[in-house]
């Protein structure tokens, strides 16, 4: 990867990382999002919040169906869970959200880098000064982010 100077380099493609990257892109900043997995969304989208909520919704529906007669619905019986269909539904929900994030990366012109990164102590920017938060004039209240060329970060490693 050639050395590219970015206005903002964000480490981590979870909800905080991709939200920051999209906002930076919307503000017109050259943005790089470094993520170790090939899919954005982090733990929340792939194994945490979203899959859990999908499974809990299935459990809630099953619980209501068990009491269907109380609601005046006869003839449903006890019902039987189909674990494969439950897992397929969860997988489709996660895939839909992942595709949405991929679209937003392209829409907001964010460069994705597959790999690991960390900020190293004592690094300097392209101007030879330590990496720093850029300040904007008081009249403009939009945040800018960190002015860092990608070279200020330890090079991402692809595994």
Neighbouring C-alpha atoms within 13 Å toward the C-beta of 148: 22
Q: What pLDDT does residue 116 have?
A: 87
DSSP string for residues in 82-108: -HHHHHHHHHHHHHHHHHHHHHHHHHT
Q: Over 50: is that where the pLDDT of 138 sits? A: no
Q: Over 90: is that where the pLDDT of 2 sits? A: no
pLDDT tens digits, one per residue of 52-73: 999 999 999 998 888 888 888 8
pLDDT tens digits, one per residue of 79-126: 789 999 999 999 999 999 999 999 999 999 999 999 988 777 666 655
Q: Domain locations in the chain?
A: 8-52+97-152
CA dihedral 122, 128, 129, 132 (to 10 degrees): -80
Question: Considering the domain 8-52+97-152, what is its CATH architecture?
Answer: 3-Layer(bba) Sandwich (3.50)
């Amino acid at each position: 990867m050639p050395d590219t100077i970015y206005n903002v380099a964000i480490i981590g493609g979870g909800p905080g990382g991709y939200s920051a990257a999209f906002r930076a892109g919307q503000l017109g900043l050259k943005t790089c999002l470094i993520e170790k997995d090939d899919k954005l969304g982090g733990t929340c989208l792939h194994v945490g919040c979203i899959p859990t909520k999908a499974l809990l919704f299935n459990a809630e529906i099953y619980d209501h169906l068990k009491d269907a007669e109380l609601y005046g619905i006869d003839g449903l019986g006890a019902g039987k869970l189909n674990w494969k269909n439950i897992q397929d539904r969860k997988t489709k929900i996660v895939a839909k959200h992942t595709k949405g994030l991929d679209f937003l990366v392209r829409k907001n012109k964010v460069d994705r880098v597959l790999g690991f990164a960390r900020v190293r102590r004592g690094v300097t920017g392209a101007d030879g000064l330590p990496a720093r938060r850029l300040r904007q004039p008081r009249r403009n209240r939009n945040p800018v982010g960190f002015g860092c060329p990608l070279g200020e970060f330890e090079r991402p490693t692809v595994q």
